[in-house]
Amino acid sequence: MSTGLRGQSIGVGLGRLDGVPKVRGTALYAYEQPVPQPAYLYPVQATIARGTVVRIDTGAAEALDGVLIVLTHLNAPRLVDTKDQELLVLQSAAVGFRGQFIGAVVAESSEIARHAAGLVEVAYAPAPHNSAFSVGEHGHISPGSAPGLPRQVSEAEIEAAIAGEHGHVSPGSAPGLPRQVSEAEIEAALAAASTAVDQTYTTPPEYNVPMEPHTSVAIWNDGILTMYESTQGVHSFQAGLAPLFGLEPEQVRVISPYVGGGFGSKIEVHAQAVLAAMAARELPGRAVKVALTRQQMFSLSGYRPPTIQHVRLGADLDGTLTAVAVDVVEQSSRMKEFTEGSDGPARMMYAAPQRRTTNRPVVLDVPVPTWMRAPGRCAGMFGLEVAMDELAVACAVDPIALRVRNEPPVDPETGQPHAFRHLLDCLQLGAERFDWEHRAAPAPRARLQHGWWSGMGVASATYPDFRVPDNAARIRFEADGTYVVQIAAAEIGTGSRTVLTQIAAEALGCPARCVRMEIGDSSLPRASVAGGSFGTISWGAAIVAAAEAFRDQHGADPRPGAETEAHAPGVIDDDRSRHSFGAHFAEVRVNAATGEIRVSRMLGVFSVGRIINPVTARSQFIGGMTMGIGMALHEHGVMDPRFGTIVNHDFADYHIPTCADIEDIDAIWLEEPEAPPGVLGARGLGEIGIVGAAAAIANAAYHATGVRARNLPLAPDAFLS
């Protein structure tokens, strides 16, 4: 690996600069930070899905040697800002979901804290709850609610929302642009279509499951709260936590140099951080540490809400779409409304004269969902891309030809021209590399070898080109010839420390080894989160701006101590539709006797602008695709609605792919000669790898077996007949 030559850092496959300290164990994560006088917090969790704590007896816990404090709603300090229900920890006796924090023990050791938490006795007045996410036979939301239970959104409310009065449904049209049609108009268009697909697809609750659990270490000193936190963004975390305690953001210092994955679950502040900060304030001079257990994470760190997607496509005989209708219901929680907006992809993927999409929350007594890799796009592309495969079969058109036929000349949602839509190039290159032409036969269930059916499938990928302008960076030249580059960016395992070093080296015109990045601390210049695939490009823009300002001020031969800080320029606003695209190709084999599905081969082809580092970029792509294999085949949070709990809340029962599940997997990308000037010509790539991956696998499973599976994960029993 080159360490980067002068002016040649971007595009080099520089190895991870923090790889060695991570492997050696010298990279310190939040829980491992050396702190004076650590104390250990273990939470007490509600064992009912809804109701009230009527008695909580902490006597036995408090009497235990080594216990410092036991907090409940009866003695916990009052929080100041009360907007976010998820964070109002121990503020009342109310229970809004099973697993909610109702108390906490802080002790001299984690073992004592955990033991003492088990000694807390709780009596409840349970209330009726509804934790069952389902639809009725016709794809409508199940009324399924006893009196007083979650209200459902009516058709009239949907129409009002489409008219733009309500935030729950995506209206889908800026003023003057093609409006979404009414349900009656869509039904008329579907009735007139030569070919129609009308199917319902479902995705289950899926969990972010980063390897490092959600972890907080809180210390109060002279009115300043210091948090060592596993977070995707120190400044957003600071902004989220400070108001709860009546603090200004700068009174909370957040330090997070290494994060063991987040996948969206560490974007928002979660309750364990509030609990740790609260307990630390009650214990002056002590550092209070909490790390959620894997089981606790399933109720306290968010998840991708399950979806039910009713997809209707109308087309001419040759597959040209005449109508696209997608109606999604997504689980949300009573405590805090959150939906992903999984109707999003249907609004901009393919051309169609008639279009209507809705996304409705179903509010249940369940843990609070949150962001998860490619929110909205990931789940939404499953239904849409399997439906497109069904349409291809119905019209006897090759699935790639079908997509060529429905390529929109402008963004169907906004009417804007595309800034860089290379979907067809991705499909074409992938088809060549994957040997698509030699798919055994267009007909399914054509190839059986050694007891395994095999087949190939394809699906499109997309992700928006987001970027955030509110970023700054500071550069200082040291006597030893090093440029110290400071920005409060996050390294969540993606390689950001490495690629930011490359960007800084390129912008400063020095070798990468002359740059030292300092990130992950709220005392550094302001940075947005590692999320939305916009981390590298948003932080990188600030670094490039700072490097240019530094050169202007200090020249190419600066004196030691020379320092400059600069802000990124504003967002690019070029009136074009800015989305990245890609294509997934999968070959699967399905065991004829057992229904076991294996992904024999998978190729992703992506168009994401300039690649800053081919090593970390490829890791992000195949990481997303691997997560897509998990989504396709394994991941399934199983809700027991009687108790409002996910029963398979550990890695034994909630399986994510291991090396044994992954066979031949690769990712390639397009060269984009017209990569926009912007700052770097790069776009995000952290999320697009999972979008459409599960659909490609489901489509391949259909081609292998002739069985169309519409519910994730694809269970072996679906393929046994």
Binding residues for ligand MOS (CB under 6 A)? 232, 262-264, 267, 371-373, 375, 531-532
- The span from the CA of 565 to the CA of 563, in Å, is 7
Rounded least distance, CB 682 to ligand MOS, Å: 17
- The span from the CA of 476 to the CA of 562, in Å, is 6
Nearer to ligand MOS, 262 or 630 (CB): 262
Task: Indicate the Cα dihedral angle 597, 601, 607, 609, nearest 10°.
Answer: 120
C-beta of residue 504 within 8 angstroms of C-beta of residue 658:
no
Rounded least distance, CB 466 to ligand MOS, Å: 9
Rounded least distance, CB 716 to ligand MOS, Å: 30
Residue at 670: amino acid letter: L
Rounded least distance, CB 98 to ligand MOS, Å: 24
C-beta of residue 397 within 8 angstroms of C-beta of residue 405:
yes
Nearer to ligand MOS, 29 or 245 (CB): 29
Catalytic residue at 187?
Answer: no
C-beta of residue 359 within 8 angstroms of C-beta of residue 168:
yes
Q: Which position among 330, 340, 413, 687 bears the catalytic label?
A: 687
Nearer to ligand MOS, 533 or 577 (CB): 533
- The span from the CA of 536 to the CA of 530, in Å, is 8
CA 331 to chain centre: 16
Q: Which residue is listed with tokens 């600071």? A: 238
Give which of 227, 243, 235 is closest to 276, Cα–Cα. 227
Rounded least distance, CB 139 to ligand MOS, Å: 27
Phi, psi of 56 (to 5 degrees): -140, 115
Nearer to ligand MOS, 412 or 532 (CB): 532
Neighbouring-strand partners of residue 625 = none
Nearer to ligand MOS, 264 or 399 (CB): 264
Strands (E), 509-631: 515-518, 563-567, 579-591, 597-607
- The span from the CA of 140 to the CA of 328, in Å, is 10
C-beta of residue 529 within 8 angstroms of C-beta of residue 537:
no
DSSP 623: H
Rounded least distance, CB 339 to ligand MOS, Å: 14
C-beta of residue 633 within 8 angstroms of C-beta of residue 654:
no
Nearer to ligand MOS, 99 or 261 (CB): 261
Rounded least distance, CB 375 to ligand MOS, Å: 5
Query: The sheet that has 51-57: what strands, in order across it?
Result: 94-95, 51-57, 121-126
Residue nearest to ligand MOS (CB): 264
Measured CA to CA in angstroms, residue 523 lies from 446, 462, 472, 482 at distances of 62, 35, 12, 21
Nearer to ligand MOS, 232 or 301 (CB): 232
Residues known to be catalytic = 687
